[in-house]
Amino acid sequence: MGAAIRVLRNAKRIAVTNLSAGSGRILAVMDTTSRIDELNRRFGVAGVSEVLVGNGGLPKVRVTTLLASAEVYLHGAQVTLWQPAGAEEVIFLSEKSHWQDGLAIRGGIPICSPWFGEKADDPKAPSHGFVRIREWRLDGVAVEGDGTVNVICSTESDEASRRWWPHEFRMEYRIAIGKSLQLELAVTNTGNSSFEFAEALHTYLRVGDARTVMVRGLEGVTYQDKTDGNREKIQVGALTFAATTDNVYLDTRGAVEVVDPALRRTIRTEKRNSGTTVVWNPGQAGAAALADLGDDEWKSMVCVETSNIRAASVSLAPGQKHTMTAILSVASI
C-alpha cells in the first residue's frame, strides 16, 4: 500500500505525518507559530487587526472595526471578505475553492496581472497571470483618523516570475477597509526596458439571485462578447444575466451599479485610471465546468472587474509607475 499522508492543522501549526507501515514517523513539520507571531508583532493592532492561519494553512489578515470587517489572504493579496457594519457580506467566496499555493482562490477579489486570460504566447502559463497565485509580502497595517484601516501588500520580480514574464517590476496594493472598500494597485517598472501589462481586479460580488440582478452604468457602451467570438456589440439598456455572460466593455470610465432586488441593495463600483470593465457570470453550464465552483453557486455571484486589458493594456517605460483604483460601496434599495 502506498504511503498515506495526513495533514494535521490547528491555528498555529501544520504537521505532515507519514503513516506508511504504521510507523507514524514524522517526515516534515512546519511550525508557523514564529512567523505568525512576528507578523502580529509588526502589524497587529489591538482590537483592530491580527494575522491568522487561514484555510489551507495560508496566512490571512483579519480586520474588525466599527466600520467593517474584512479578511485579506497574503496568497495573491486577495480580499476574501468585506462586510460593512450593519450590512450583509458583499464579497462572494466559493465553498469549493482551492486553498493551495500555486492555485487561485475562487471568489474574493483576485488580482489578474501581468496578463488577462490565457497568455497568448504560452498556453502553459498560469491563466490571468501569476500574481494571484503567489504569496505577497505584508508591508503595513495602519489606522486612519476616521477608522479606515489600510492593509498594504507588495510583490516584485524574482526568478520565479521571470520564468513566465522577463520584466522587472514592483506591485504595491493598498486595501482601505471602511464604510467603502478602496483598492489601489500600483505597478512600477524597475527594469531598464519598457514593458506592457494588463491588469484586472476580478471582483466577485455576492448577490441574492443573479437571474434578477441588473447592472447599470454601461448603457450605450461598446463591448466585446467572449461568448460570441469577441464580436463587438453595443449594450442596450441595463445588463441582465439570462445566460453565460463574459463581456469586456471598452473605454469605460464611469461608475457601475449592481442592483440586487433579492438582497435589496445596490453595490456601486467607481474607478480611476481604468479603461475597461469586465462583467462575468458563468451561468449554469459554465459553473458545471469549474471544479472549484458549486453547480448552483453561479446564482450567488456577479463579477464586475475594474481593469485595463486588451487595447487598454498599460505601457510603462523604465522608472514609470501606474496606479489603478477601484472603490466599492453599498446602499440599500
Neighbouring CB atoms inside 10 A of 96's CB total 13
Domains contained in the chain, number: 2
pLDDT, averaged across the chain: 92
Q: Say yes or no: 79 and 221 in one domain.
A: yes
Helix (H) or strand (E) holding 139: strand 137-143
Q: In angstroms, what is the C-alpha Rg of the chain?
A: 21
Name the pTM for this structure.
0.91
Q: Give residue-wise pLDDT tens across range 204-231.
A: 999 999 999 999 999 999 999 999 999 9
pLDDT of residue 9: 36
- Alpha carbon distance 130, 26 (integer Å): 32
Of 14-18, 133-137, 142-146, the range with the lowest mean pLDDT is 14-18
Residue 12 pLDDT = 37
Whether 1 and 82 share a structural domain: no
Tell me, yes or no, whether 27 and 38 share the same domain: no
Residues with a catalytic annotation lie at 202, 305
Residues 164 and 266 in one domain: yes
Lowest-pLDDT range, 27-41, 56-70, 95-109, 231-245?
A: 27-41
Confidence at 4, pLDDT banded by 50, 70, 90: very low
- Say if residue 100 is in the same domain as residue 14: no
Task: Check whether residue 62 and residue 203 sit in a common domain.
Answer: yes
pLDDT computed for residue 128 by the predictor? 98
Short-list 49, 47, 48, 46, CA closest to 61: 49
Residue 324 makes CB contacts below 8 A (sequence gap 6+) with 184, 185, 199, 201, 271, 272, 273, 274, 306, 308
Same domain? 56 vs 107: yes
115/11 same-domain check: no
- 313, 178: one domain: yes
**At 185, which amino acid appears?**
L
For 26, phi then psi, to 5°, come to: -80, 120
The CATH number that applies at residue 144 is 2.70.98.10
**66, 25: one domain:** no
Q: Are residues 305 and 257 in the same domain?
A: yes
What phi and psi values does residue 218 have, to the nearest 5 degrees?
A: -115, 10
Interval 144-192: pLDDT, tens: 999 999 999 999 999 999 999 999 999 999 999 999 999 999 999 999 9
77 and 13 assigned to the same domain: no
Question: Residue written as cell 449592481?
Answer: 258
* Domain containing residue 17: 1-31
Asked if residue 205 lies in contact with residue 216, where contact means CB atoms within 8 angstroms, the answer is no
Q: Which residue has the cell 446564482?
A: 299
